[in-house]
């Protein structure tokens, strides 16, 4: 149901991209810009994402460890009453929220600006949850790319580097890398060779240090 408030026009903005493409950073940049126009802004984060702080779940972190206050929840409906008191609502890790589409649509229809930062695909390059259903409902779509961690080309994809097939596996550089098309399809042995080489280098360094003692 359309419940727009007189004098306010809502909208949905979506920021898609692989891991390490700066989605959260771009989300925060937009929120700061809206703050400058004296609009009340709320950041919402996925409560199970505790990669950088397992104690204070109300802090939203970028990969470069910048943190911002956010409202943690596992279902967006839990934040509905709070969100209605704000003009702009930013949602990080939107792919994890199963109610991302109805929540965003409802708030936009009420005159709110909703900004969603999300992975567009899983590590298998399949649609992540229902978040892609926002595309036909959004006023603007931004697709970011990262830098391929193997060859340094543009990286539109995320590749998992640990043997786990679970779709929702929260992690950072310990579990994922951003990759280009060529490196996405490269055999995993290339990753293992790089890891083995790094381990060998560390072992050699430790051996050299021991010889100096």
Active site residues: 93
Does 176 show up as a binding residue in the annotation?
yes
> Which two three-digit tokens encode residue 74?
């596992």
168 vs 65, 116, 124, 160, CA distance in Å?
Answer: 22, 18, 12, 12
Sheet-wide strand order for 11-16: 71-73, 41-46, 88-91, 113-118, 11-16, 140-143
Instruction: Say how far apart CA 75 and CA 123 lie, in whole Å.
Output: 23
Q: Is the distance from CB of 68 to CB of 41 less than 8 angstroms? A: no
Q: Which residues are annotated as a binding site?
A: 176
Annotated binding residues for substrate, written as ranges, equal 176
């Amino acid at each position: 149901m359309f419940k727009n408030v007189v004098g306010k026009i809502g909208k949905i903005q979506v920021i898609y991209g692989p891991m390490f493409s700066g989605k959260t950073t771009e989300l925060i940049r937009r929120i700061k810009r809206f703050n400058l126009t004296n609009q009340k802004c709320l950041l919402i984060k996925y409560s199970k994402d505790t990669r950088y702080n397992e104690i204070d779940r109300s802090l939203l972190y970028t990969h470069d460890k910048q943190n911002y206050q956010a409202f943690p929840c596992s279902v967006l409906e839990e934040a509905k009453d709070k969100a209605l008191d704000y003009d702009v609502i930013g949602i990080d890790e939107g792919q994890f929220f199963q109610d991302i589409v109805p929540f965003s649509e409802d708030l936009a229809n009420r005159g709110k600006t909703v900004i969603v930062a999300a992975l567009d695909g899983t590590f298998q390059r399949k649609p992540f949850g229902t978040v892609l259903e926002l595309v036909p409902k959004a006023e603007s779509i931004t697709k970011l790319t990262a830098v391929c961690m193997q060859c340094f080309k543009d990286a539109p994809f995320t590749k998992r580097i640990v043997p786990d097939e679970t779709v929702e596996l929260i992690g950072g550089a310990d579990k994922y890398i951003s990759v280009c098309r060529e490196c996405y399809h490269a055999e995993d042995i290339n990753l293992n060779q790089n890891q083995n080489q790094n381990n060998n280098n560390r072992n050699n360094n430790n051996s050299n240090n021991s010889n100096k003692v």
